[in-house]
Amino acid sequence: MKNIVIHLFLITSLFFLIPSGIAKATESLYEIAYQTYIYAYPIVLMKSTQIKQNVPVNQFLHYRELPLPSDRDIVRWNRDTLYSMAWLNLSDGPVLLTVPKTGDRYYLLQILDMWTDTFAGPSSRTTGSEEGQFLIVGPNWDGQISSISLPNIDELVNSYKLIKSPTNQVWIVGRTEIGDEDDYSSIHEIQDGYHLEQISDQKVQSNQKEAASNNESHFLKIANEFKNGALDPPQVVAQMEAATFFEIFTQLMIENPPHINDWPIVAIMSKIGIIPGKLLDFKSLDQNIQEVLNQAAKDALKAIGEQSPVPVVNNWRYITTFMGSYGTSYMMRAVIALTGLGANLPEDSVYAVTYRDCNNEYFNGSKNYIIHFEKDMTPPANAFWSLIIYDSSGYIVENPINRYSLNSKQNLMKFNPDGSLDIYLQNSSPGAEWESNWLPVPPSGLFNVTLRIYWPKRDALDGTWILPKVYPR
């Protein structure tokens, strides 16, 4: 409710930002344009991210090694799992996803639609550790496989689990638990067992294919932006003119229709010339509407960047709601897309980040800190939890013992006689007795701490478990 109030306040206040050249009678159009930009932002960012990654569709890209301090192209990458990512195109027919047996190793294959909602996810939590097959189909699939290239289709049809995607374009973000570098061969075998296979369907509507091939110039322009500089997807979207942004938006909606509960905003978008299934020609719009769209796009982008949806507990930023599945909370969805595109459901994993100690002072490598967990109050996880240090830019920190994270499955940490647990955050060793609980920090400068809880227990989600304070030593 608070976020809704904030959103409405922003909309109301932004009326005062309308240039005097735009008539007062167009205030309602401005509000529609403002809301539409927020609604559209995640799908445009998703497409820009896909273009940036530039990988073949319907194929997994596996990350085979843990990141090191020298890997400066990876920001805030975890050291608990190896990633396996894929972009699917379901407009040509279903895609068969095969998952191998994973044993007691945590895994998650998060499946997102183009609106950034997580709508499915084979995982240790949802489907267990046994092998399985999942037939992923698009929104227009008629339930019949008309042309099959797989020799075992009869057997398949009787064994697969059906996953229906709300959109034809899909992003899979896979995570597979890894212990350390000695575990590479085992985890690579599991990664290789993740398999995607396109199943041809002759009944795909030709108008979708034709529409998808139209207006590719915008996508090529985005690709050139990535080639010509070190821009990331949010920066590319932020630089888009309103004409480009809204034209891309309408193009994407042809293969990726709005969710069924989006009908209220879909109904009002037509007043500014935006209709699902119909490409927008910005220059053909009334001049007044063009001006409104130009202004609303600037204001809405600014509002997205200024929002902070994450609650703070003992200086930890920790979100357990509205993540991964957003309903009609469009501002929340846009903000999460900007700050953490691909966010998973909290039931699968939650992340907490802190930049300050209990005195509200920023962490600095020149000082020592301690995280104290009371007995039976370590992070409640069905799988495991971990702590990692990043420098002020979000990179892993070089240290003399090459320890970049602490993981509850490593059986490394030593508990106190009373059952409590202390974690030492400092640049120098806390002494041989407690070195197992030492997480090295930079020798100087700012740093931050991230706690990840994989497959969290209910206590971690409902607020029963409280994140501990971080004390200076």
Provide the token pair at 392.
């002020």
* Tokens 């942004």 belong to residue: 245
- Per-residue pLDDT, 320: 84
pLDDT of 138 > 50? The answer is yes
Compute the Cα dihedral for 138, 141, 145, 149 and give only its sign. negative
Amino acid, res. 60:
F
Helices (H) and strands (E) in the chain, counts: 12, 19
Q: Is the pLDDT of residue 143 over 80?
A: no
- For residue 12, the model assigns a pLDDT of 31
Could you tell me how far CA 249 lies from the centroid of its own chain?
A: 19
Percent of the chain past pLDDT 90, that is, above it, reads 69
pLDDT tens for 43-96 read 999 999 999 888 899 999 999 998 888 887 667 889 999 999 999 999 888 999
| Residue 255 vs residue 157, higher pLDDT | 255
What local confidence, expressed as pLDDT, does residue 158 receive? 55
Domain 348-472 class, CATH top level: mainly beta
In tens, the pLDDT along 453-472 reads: 999 999 999 989 999 999 99
pLDDT value of residue 201: 57
Residue 268 burial (10 A CB sphere; 0-12, 13-18, 19+): middle
pLDDT recorded at residue 76: 83
Q: What is the pLDDT of residues 173-208, one digit of tens each?
A: 999 999 876 789 999 999 999 999 988 654 444 444
Distance between CA atoms of 137 and 164, rounded to whole angstroms?
Answer: 5
Q: According to the model, what pLDDT value does residue 210 have?
A: 47
Instruction: State the burial class of residue 167 (Cβ atoms within 10 Å of its Cβ: 0-12, 13-18, 19+).
Output: buried
Q: pTM for the full model?
A: 0.86
Largest CA distance in the chain: 74
Alpha carbons 333 and 41: distance in angstroms, whole number: 9
**In the predicted structure, residue 353 carries a pLDDT above the cut 80:** yes
What is the rounded distance in angstroms from the CA atom of residue 254 to the CA atom of residue 208? 7
- Model pLDDT for residues 103-123, shown as the tens digit of each residue: 999 999 999 999 999 999 999
Give the amino acid at 303.
A
Q: Rounded mean pLDDT of the chain?
A: 86
CA 322 → CA 346, 387, 450, distances in Å? Answer: 9, 23, 20
Q: What type of residue sits at position 253?
A: M
CA–CA separation, 470 vs 357, rounded Å? 5
pLDDT higher than 60, residue 150: no
Q: What is the mean pLDDT of residues 204-230?
A: 60
**Euclidean distance between CA atoms 347 and 263, whole angstroms:** 28
Q: For residue 22, what pLDDT is reported?
A: 40
φ, ψ of residue 446 in degrees (nearest 5):
-75, 150
Q: What is the pLDDT of residue 274?
A: 96
**421-426 and 438-440 beta bridge pairing:** parallel
* Per-residue pLDDT tens digits for 297-308: 999 999 999 987
pLDDT at 131: 93
Lowest mean pLDDT among 103-112, 213-222, 372-381, 392-401: 213-222
Residue 414: is its pLDDT beyond 80? Answer: yes
